[in-house]
Amino acid sequence: MGTPARPEARLRGGAIWSRPPYFRLPLGERLLPARGALPGEMAAQQPLRVLALAGFRQSERGFREKTGALRKALRGRAELVCLSGPHLVSGAEGSEGAGPDSEPCLPPEEQPRGWWFSEQEADVFNALSQPTVCRGLEEALGTVAQALKRLGPFDGLLGFSQGAALAALVCALGQAGDARFPLPKFIILVSGFCPRGLGPEESVLQGPLSLPSLHVFGDTDCVIPSQESMQLASRFTGAITLTHPGGHFIPVAAAQRQAYLNFLDQLTE
């Protein structure tokens, strides 16, 4: 067997920012300033608060677990507040849910949910179809607006898959003047895409969105092909793209972890 391929990340669209020097204590997680850092520098920096929107068919608890490595990587720099969609997804399969008969027995944070459905009569979603409806989208927007009001303020948004599409729409509506959605300082979109079937609201995503954005997607993502994420990135001015050789997940290998930190660093420069 050959040598395993090393994790790969390619950062395009912006410079690589240098990170202040720190060292980690051997037996703890506390980060201390390296020699030469300004006194009180670390105390003055509060972690960025980020509202993280789950993907379709993800429960709140499941999304927290799937972002565990990312939250650990960003510890001290950013804290994630995870939010799943308002709609139960009946008949969801996999580790995050069971059949429709068992779903009501699960606590709310473990029930598989979605932000909207792409068919009028069925609780399904296909990002690559050409739907005529986005059933439940208004409730999804209301859920995000309520979270921003009750759990905020937030510095940024993060979204995965369907949650990334919704996060982009929220920013577009905010830039267009929707008072429910104050424009965040930045946005991170993982396996994102331009939502289809929005009707009149679809036009708000046509113009350039003016906020720092990081777009993360996998070269072998079969759920959301990379060209879909690139199309969404083109809607943002000065978008930075980070690719990885994997599929439909949030990558947190060393190379990607450093790219996240570099992106956050430039926000405080």
Element (H, E) at 158: strand 156-160
Among residues 154, 190, 192, 197, the alpha carbon closest in space to that of 174 is found at: 154
The two tokens of residue 56 are 């379709």
What's 200's DSSP letter? G
Sign, CA torsion 147/149/153/155: positive
Q: Which residues are catalytic?
A: 161, 221, 248
Element (H, E) at 166: helix 162-175
Among residues 80, 195, 77, 58, the alpha carbon closest in space to that of 147 is found at: 80
Answer yes or no: are the C-beta atoms of 64 and 82 closer than 8 Å. Answer: yes
Answer yes or no: are the C-beta atoms of 264 and 77 closer than 8 Å. Answer: yes
Chain centroid, CA 89 distance in Å: 20
| Rounded CA separation 240/30 (Å) | 30
The two tokens of residue 244 are 């990885």
With 0-12 / 13-18 / 19 or more C-beta atoms within 10 angstroms meaning exposed / middle / buried, residue 203 is exposed
Answer yes or no: are the C-beta atoms of 194 and 233 closer than 8 Å. Answer: no
Q: What values do phi and psi take at 140, rounded to 5?
A: -65, -45
Beta bridge partners of 236: 209
The two tokens of residue 242 are 């980070």
